[in-house]
Amino acid sequence: MVLTRDIGLLKRSILKYGYWLRDTHPSKQFIEVARRYRLNSYLKPFTRCTLCNGVLHKVEKAAIENGLPPVVRSYFDEFWQCQQCHQIYWKGSHYQSIKTKLDLLIKSIS
């Protein structure tokens, strides 16, 4: 399935499924796609790795703390790890602003 603004790409016979995004703004494209394909009940923020899309699982601090920056080790106790690439995540300074934006986007879908 290809989501694109390139109409020429959608005309290629090799594509089985495609959708032409009407909007040009990424946040509005997110809403457009989520509404069109009724994805609201499938959205699960913060459960996939932003690097490889692997599934994140909660991990004990003791298991990964040796690889953490000292300030992260001092201030955070909850961690998640990608099962595919082993990237570590925590609710750092960006978490709340991302969550606020996502909550607004998800609310605007329904």
Taking contact as CB under 5 A, which single stretch among the options 12-20, 39-47, 77-85, 91-99 is the one that binds Zn ion? Answer: 77-85
Residue 18 Cβ, how far from Zn ion at the closest point, in Å? 27
Q: Which residue from 18, 59, 76, 84 is in contact with Zn ion, where contact means CB under 5 A?
A: 84
Nearer to Zn ion, 40 or 50 (CB): 50
Structure tokens belonging to residue 4 = 């694109």
Among 30, 79, 80, 82, binds Zn ion (CB under 5 A): 82
The minimum distance between CB 35 and Zn ion, in angstroms, equals 28
> Nearest 5 degrees, angle CA 49-CA 84-CA 105?
15
CA dihedral 40, 42, 44, 50 (to 10 degrees): -100
Measure the CA dihedral 19/25/30/36, to 10°.
-40
For residue 62, what are its two tokens? 């003791």
Distance CA 63, CA 95 (A): 22
Answer for which of 63, 85, 98, 104 binds Zn ion (CB under 5 A) is 85
**Ranges within 39-58 binding Zn ion (CB under 5 A):** 49, 51-52, 54
What is the binding site for Zn ion (CB under 5 A)? 49, 51-52, 54, 82, 84-85, 87
